[in-house]
Structure 1
Amino acid sequence: MDTFALVVTIGVALFFTYTNGFHDSANAIATSVSTRALTPRAALLMAAVMNLAGAFLGSGVAKTVSEGLIETPHGSGGMAILFSALVGAIVWNLITWYYGLPSSSSHALFGGMVGAALAGGITVYWSGVLEKIVIPMFLSPIVGMGLGYLVMLAIMWMFRKANPHKAKRGFRIAQTVSAAGMALGHGLQDAQKTMGIVVMALTIADVQDHNEIPAWVKITCALMLSLGTYAGGWRIMRTLGRRIIELDPPQGFAAETTAASVMYTASFLFHAPISTTHVITSGIMGVGATKRVSAVRWGVAKNIVAGWFITMPAAAGVAAVCYAAVTLVS
């Protein structure tokens, strides 16, 4: 097995994690920044630290990613598939970041894996794709929207007699905690997805014959996600923080608490790799709908949801083209 190919693939995986960080940093902090609960730099620093911590909380999601989605043949063919999958995900991340569209880095990665596998004539385990990716992709936003609506209703009822100014001030402080919880959940989910890819690369290269995650893989993936997060994703932050709905501190707290709860449940109970982007976006929509349905800018929301459906096939297409190019060159 070519050691150079292994090193390059791991390097590309770490760069994907970096793009994931700056692409998805908005997930954790957009609501806190838009409500002025946190300054942008303070929010990014907090998110970077909590992403780093979250990456070490478990390994269930990483093992889900590394098993049961596609066949991983040993040798240069398997490494080319992983490399192409990562390139497909990175390209889609950069395109959606440029246009400020909060798409899912996770689904870009999964789409890349499926596209590269199909291009390489490798078996795709469609039952695994359905159970681990497609069902959570539809279920998590529905849960996020419904739970966000209910959490916001509960907050409105509990604080119905409170002084509005004092309540908003209190929720600004509370948002520091909810944003930290959101960032921790993002690290728990997204750093582990890249860990799973690196473990696949090590297995393909016969460097290891098990699915345990080496300490250096955890550390490097966590650090790259944190560095990417600190780089910031201002374009997407504007979309989540302002364009869907004008959030106030109670709404921001409700959306972040909802999203964090869904991520922890998915990670610890089901080891399911869900999209943090889908969960926080749907949470914001659910929270906003309690004000009045027309308060949510559904035109913007429609474009975001359309982006969710396009992500996997688009990343798959880029990955397939990349695989064809790699095999042509080699």
Structure 2
Amino acid sequence: MPLGTVLAASGPDTVASTGLWTVTVAALLLLLAIDIVLTRRPHEVHMREAVAWSVFYLVLPLAFGAYLWSAFGTTVAVEFFTGYVVEKSLSVDNLFVFMLLLTAFAVPAELAQRVLLYGIIGALVLRVVFIALGAAALQSGTWAFLLFGAILVVTAAKVLREAVKGGEQEVDIDSMRSVRLLRRFVPVTGDYRGFRVVVREGGRLAVTPLAPAVVAVFATDIVFAVDSVPAVYGVTEDPFLVFATNAFALLGLRALYFVLKGALTKLRHLNHGLAVILAFIGVKLILHWAHGLWAWVPEIPTLASLGVIVAVLATVTLTSLRPERRAVR
């Protein structure tokens, strides 16, 4: 059964027809195939290449949003753009963790883009699963809004608590159960062998460090999906829009990583802003649930949500960069 049919059948009404679902998924697979072809030869990504692809993946959602605007009206387009901004901001935080993982595993620069591509594909697969589960939960009753809202508020408190503690974020590879499990059953070589994941060494099969690096990225993808999918469902209940915002936000991550690699460590207040955004959307979901029970409870319009999210991101970016300017002076 086609992906769009599965998601549409498991959740609320969607603006997308089966044809639009098919075209969107086909375009996504084509773009992933192009990425796989481009990364088949190990090479270090230079800034010009990264910027060019980042611009391309920024123009794509803008063009898609313009199509939604002309085909389905302002409300659908605003929901898409708001969801995209939310997902993109969360994805930047994901990039920081990916950077730490690549450093911890000492992934060579020429192999980094392939590891990131594996991570993006894994994230897309996991998002599809979580989107389908979320759509089914919304279909079963309004309690799902309360559940999603509670998840986001708790996540926001956790992110804010870690941000307030300060200090550099660390990733303990040895504490990851998935990595420990892999190393327990399969020997790992001491060096990378290009894109090869499995090699024969000493007469037995072994995996290269590329395998635990990819496993670690997949493991973090699960954590990211838990808060990102409910966050977008706080903007729109349409499974197609949730899928589209996730897909467009994830597609450009590989190129964006190399563009922002030097700037990621300077965005010291990013987690503070993400905590505010997650808490805001969580409250929005809880108010939406309460409005279904008590009509006098106010709801937050999507356009107002977009304004708040953009304002928060702009604020934390400015406050993060000001100390850098002072240090330069």
Higher Rg of the two aligned structures: 2
Give the TM interval when normalised to the shorter protein.
0.3 to 0.5
Q: TM-score, normalised by structure 1?
A: 0.32
Tell me which of the two structures has the higher relative contact order, counting C-alpha pairs closer than 8 angstroms and 6 or more residues apart.
Answer: 1
